[in-house]
Amino acid sequence: MDWYSLDLVWQENPLPPGKADLIPVEILSEIFLLIVKDWSGYREDLMLVCRRWHAIMLSTPGIHSPLTIRRATQKEVVQAFVQGTKTHLDVRVDMNDETDGSDFNAENFLACFMAAAQAASRWTSLNLISPPPLGEYTDLRIWLPLVHLESFKVARGFGGFLGPIMTAIRSSAPPNLTSIEIEDLAAVLYLVQPAGLHITHCLTTLKIHLFKRVGIPVDILPHLHRVEFFEARNLCLPFYPPDAPLPLNNTLRFLHLKSVSVQWMAGHVFPALETCRITFPHHVDTIQALQPVTMPSCYFLTYNSNDLHPLAHFYLPPLSELEVKSGEWNTWRGNRQLAILYPIVTAGAQSLTALHLDVNCRSGC
């Protein structure tokens, strides 16, 4: 049951007032704000307590309200919801709900989205979870500026739907937009075009999880001026010269690379990097004795590769958690790879509390 239907039920079956109704609206709003700030999962629970609490939740500007557009969603419901609330909106598009028997209606979907776009200036997050069936969405327009947009997530497969969205984000998104998670290469390419660089410069969180590796180099690293959390999977990066200015080297705190080149890390210092996960790195031979990777603040390292030798050129402080996996199938070579870990492990003699080893070796090594 959606909020619109629930409200109708409550209007038809009002409950007698209780003692909780004596608490002023302003105080409840403050309480709800504090709760939702720390435990956003309680938002829906609070709204379901009674009509009054439901109304207060919807009228408190600091509390975000979720608005999900599915196959079965009707335009009237979206319109009523948008007009009935003053709060910021967390908008989600999730078309993966065939199980409820609703067929996709492109016209209805477009109408729902446009109804939600009437409150685009109140959107704080836009999460495109699963795409509508392929189609033309040239009529799609977001007229209002996305002045409160803070986070944007897009799964793969949104195709023609993506263009108007990215255009709206590029043209009106404010510096508040600091978190982007992308599974579609086309969306990544939007970010590195000159018109989108002002967004890229402001990001503090960037996650690019591509389904498969495409040989199109994406020159995005020089434009990440403030990024602290960077995850990339199957992303093709260009070769960067040793003296290339990469501002993210100084700001990175969390790094997770999977099937991504690590050439850009060779010879650099990452003073703020605390957590580093590297899985199946590409161009790993660029990390050498003369071009080590220095991470003086790192306490958690995951390294998963067939060849552990580059780990010898990671300058690390005493770690608290180390996770190493090697795909080497030969026991003799596995034993030799294990020896590479010896200096790292012994350096963390007093600090290492968790060790995960998956190296093909034999005891006695």
Partner 1 sequence: MIYMLRLVPALERLSLGIASPNALSMAFFQAFTVREPNVDNAFDMVRSLSQTIAPSCPSLRSLQLRYRRWLRGPDKKALIAVFGDIMASRNPKKRLSFKLSLSFDEAPMSSWSIGPTRKFLHLEPRFFTKGHVELMLGISTPRGVIPISGALPLDSVVPLPFKEAEYLGLWDFSSSTSAEFSFTHEHMELMVYNYVRPPLPPSLPCILPLFSALRVLVMERVNPLFLSGHTFYKLERCRVVKPPVSFLPSPSLFTETETPVCTRVDIDDPYLLATFKLPQIREMALDFSHPELSTIWEKHIAVNVNLSGLTLLHMKKWPPNGDLIPILRSLQFLVTLIISSQLGAVSFRAFLPMDANGTSGLKRTNSEGQRLDLLCPRLQSLQIEGQDPSLERELTPILKDIVDHSPCRECVSLEGLHFF
* x-marked contacts with partner 1 along 298-337 as a string, rule CB under 8 A: -------------------------x-x-----x------
Measured distance CA(273)–CA(255) in Å, rounded = 7
346 binds partner 1 (CB under 8 A): yes
CB of 4 to partner 1, least distance (A): 33
Which of 27/349 has CB closer to partner 1? 349
358 binds partner 1 (CB under 8 A): yes
Contact 321, 354 (CB under 8 A): yes
Which of the stretches 162-170, 251-259, 306-314, 349-357 binds partner 1 when contact is defined by CB under 8 A? 349-357
40 binds partner 1 (CB under 8 A): no
Radius of gyration for the alpha carbons in the chain, expressed in angstroms and rounded = 25
Closest CA to 237 of 256, 221, 265, 218: 218
Closest CA to 158 of 178, 188, 120: 188
Which of 228/328 has CB closer to partner 1? 328
37 binds partner 1 (CB under 8 A): no
CB of 338 to partner 1, least distance (A): 6
Which of the stretches 10-18, 19-27, 123-131, 354-362 binds partner 1 when contact is defined by CB under 8 A? 354-362
Which of the stretches 49-57, 196-204, 308-316, 343-351 binds partner 1 when contact is defined by CB under 8 A? 343-351
Measured distance CA(108)–CA(51) in Å, rounded = 29
Which of 36/322 has CB closer to partner 1? 322
138 binds partner 1 (CB under 8 A): no
353 binds partner 1 (CB under 8 A): yes
Contact 88, 61 (CB under 8 A): yes
Which of 15/357 has CB closer to partner 1? 357
CB of 284 to partner 1, least distance (A): 20
- Pairing mode, strands 354-358 and 300-304: unpaired
Closest CA to 254 of 214, 224, 292, 280: 224
351 binds partner 1 (CB under 8 A): yes
CB of 302 to partner 1, least distance (A): 12
Which of the stretches 98-106, 247-255, 283-291, 350-358 binds partner 1 when contact is defined by CB under 8 A? 350-358
365 binds partner 1 (CB under 8 A): yes
345 binds partner 1 (CB under 8 A): yes
Which of 83/351 has CB closer to partner 1? 351
CB of 299 to partner 1, least distance (A): 13
Which of 294/360 has CB closer to partner 1? 360
CB of 214 to partner 1, least distance (A): 29
Q: Judged by CB under 8 A, how many residues of this single chain contact partner 1?
A: 26
Closest CA to 344 of 325, 365, 364, 317: 317
Instruction: Report 109-128 residues binding partner 1 (CB under 8 A).
Output: none
Which of the stretches 16-24, 194-202, 295-303, 340-348 binds partner 1 when contact is defined by CB under 8 A? 340-348
Which of 136/358 has CB closer to partner 1? 358
For partner 1, the binding residues (CB under 8 A) are 323, 325, 331, 338, 341-342, 345-346, 348-365
